[in-house]
């Protein structure tokens, strides 16, 4: 049985899930990303390296948000375009707390 790294709940596994939702193919590796931690939120910016995926539609961003939100019920997840050519930013905020606990998976 092949181990699926998307089953493990980590911040970077969310990026692999986002890649799979956006492109329809499993990610062989984690996309290049920028991880930014703040007192009240976490922000992860990444680029979908797929030549067939030139721009992201609102529908694709919504599907990415729903997939990640289902993995993180204790967080409010917001997905937005960042720049052009398949760049995405994901914002995480805690639902029941003002401050973000970055150690929570």
Cβ-based neighbours of 29, under 8 Å, separated by 6 or more: none
pLDDT recorded at residue 1? 36
Q: Which residue ranges make up each domain of the chain?
A: 5-94
d(CA 85, CA 87): 6
Domain 5-94, CATH? 3.30.980
pLDDT recorded at residue 26? 85
d(CA 66, CA 39): 24
pLDDT recorded at residue 11? 87
Q: To the nearest 10°, the Cα dihedral for 104, 76, 74, 101? A: 30
Q: To the nearest 10°, the Cα dihedral for 34, 11, 98, 69? A: 110
Count of other CB atoms within 10 angstroms of residue 44 = 21
Average pLDDT for consecutive 10-residue bins of the chain (105 residues)? 61 89 82 86 83 71 94 93 81 87 63
């Amino acid at each position: 049985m092949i181990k699926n790294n998307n089953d493990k709940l980590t911040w970077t596994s969310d990026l692999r899930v986002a890649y799979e939702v956006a492109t329809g193919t499993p990610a062989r590796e984690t996309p290049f990303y920028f991880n930014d931690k703040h007192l009240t939120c976490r922000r992860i910016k990444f680029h979908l390296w797929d030549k067939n995926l030139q721009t992201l539609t609102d529908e694709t961003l919504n599907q990415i948000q729903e997939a990640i939100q289902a993995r993180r019920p204790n967080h409010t997840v917001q997905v937005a375009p960042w720049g052009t050519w398949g760049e995405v930013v994901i914002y995480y905020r805690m639902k029941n707390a003002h401050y973000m606990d970055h150690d929570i998976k």
